[in-house]
Amino acid sequence: MLRGIYVPLITPFTIDDRVDLDTAEKLAHHVLDQGASGLVGLGTTGEVAMLSDEERAAVIATCVRVTGERHVPLILGVSGNDTRSTVAALRALPDGVTAALVPVPYFLRPSERGVIAHFEALAEASPVPLVIYHIPYRTGQQVSAATLRHLGAHPMIAGVKYAAGSVDEDAVNLLADLPTGFDVLGGDDAFISPMLALGASGGILASAHLATDQYVALVDAWRSGDAARARSLGHRLAKLSATLFAEPNPTVIKGVLHQQGLIASREVRLPLLPAGAQSIAQAMLAITG
C-alpha cells in the first residue's frame, strides 16, 4: 500500500485568515497530476495545530473528496500522546481514509514496552491500518529498529514514516530485515535518496509539493536499478529540500507556491511567520537552476 511519494498537503489561507479550501483542492489535484501516489492530510506541514475542529473537518472532507475522485490513498494525521484519546480519534475517522499517521507518544517519553503497548492498543481499536510516525527530534522518544520490527508484524500496522534526522543505524538495521507487509516511508526530505537506496518504499515529503514529478522519478530510478540517474536526482533534490527548510516548514514552501501562482496567499498562522524574500528566492533558484 505504501509505495511512492505522498504529499503532506499544506493548508492554504486567504489574506483574511480563512482556510482556502478551493485552492487546497486544486493543489491536491496538481500534485496527483504530477505523479504523487497519494495525499497526507492534517500533518505538521498542514499547520494542523493551528486549525479549529471545524477547519480540520473541512480539510478532511476536501482530501476525502479528491482522493475518492482520483482513486488514490489518503493517509490522515491523527495526533495525541495518550492512548485513550488517540483511540477515540481513530474511531472517529470518516469513510474514505486509507490509513492513519500516528506519532510515537510525545513529551511523555514512555519506555519501549510502553510504546509497543500503545501502538498495539491503537491497532486493535483502529478501523484503518496505522503508519507509525517516528520523529524523535520532535517527540523526544527514540524507538529502536527491534521495536519497529515487532510492531510491524501486527496486521493493522502498515508501515513507518521514518524521520530520525539522519540515515541512522536503526534505519539501516530496520531496512535490512522488514516484516512482511510493513513499509518504510522516508520522512526526512534531504535523506530520501539514501533511504530509497537502502530499501524504503517511498516517502512522505513536504518538498514534493514542488518538483513532484522529480521525486516520483527518483523513486522509480532506485526501484528500476538506475543508480546513476537516482544519484543525480537525489543530489539535486537534496539541495532543493535544504532551501525549502531554511525557515520553519511550511513557510518557504508556501512562499514558493505563491510565487508560482499555485496558491493565492503565502499566509501562515502564528507562531509561524511568512518566509523572507531571500529564502523564497533561493528556493526558486534551486527549482529552476
**pLDDT tens per residue across span 105-136:** 999 999 999 999 999 999 999 999 999 999 99
**Phi and psi based region of residue 74 (left: phi greater than 0; alpha: psi -120 to 50; beta: remaining):** beta
Residue count of the chain = 289
Predicted local distance difference test score (pLDDT) of residue 240: 98
Could you count the other beta carbons within 10 Å of the beta carbon of residue 197?
Answer: 15
Helix (H, G, I), strand (E, B) or coil at 162: strand
Higher per-residue pLDDT: 142 or 219: 219
**What cell was used for 152?**
510491524
**pLDDT grade for 288, boundaries at 50, 70 and 90:** confident
Phi first, then psi: give them for residue 61, nearest 5 degrees.
-60, -40
Helix, strand, coil % (nearest 5) of the chain? 50, 15, 35
Query: Is the pLDDT score of 90 beyond 80?
Result: yes
Beta strands 202-204 and 183-186, pairing class: parallel
Predicted confidence (pLDDT) at residue 289 exceeds the cutoff of 80: no
- Residues 168-189 have a mean pLDDT of 97
Task: Let me know if 162 is a catalytic residue.
Answer: no
254 is catalytic: no
What distance in Å separates the CA atoms of residue 289 and residue 174, rounded to the nearest whole number?
Answer: 36
Buried/exposed 198-237: b ≥16 CB within 10 Å, e otherwise: bebbbbbbbbbbbbbebbbbbbbbbeeeeeeebbebbebb
Give the three-state DSSP class for 282: helix
* Mean pLDDT on 9-16: 97
Peptide bond into 248 cis (omega under 30): no
Examine the pLDDT at 80 and tell me if it is beyond 80.
Answer: yes
pLDDT tens-digit profile of 240-263? 999 999 999 999 999 999 999 999
Average pLDDT, the chain: 97
Written as one string, the DSSP assignment of 62-90 is HHHHHHHHHT--EEEE---SSHHHHHHHH
Q: How buried is 52 (Cβ within 10 angstroms: 0-12 exposed, 13-18 middle, 19+ buried)? A: exposed
Q: Mean pLDDT, to the nearest integer, of 42-63? A: 97
State yes or no: pLDDT of 65 exceeds 80: yes
pLDDT bracket for residue 36 (50, 70, 90) = very high
Exactly one of 6, 161, 162, 254 is catalytic; which is it? 161
What are 207-225's pLDDT values in tens digits? 999 999 999 999 999 999 9
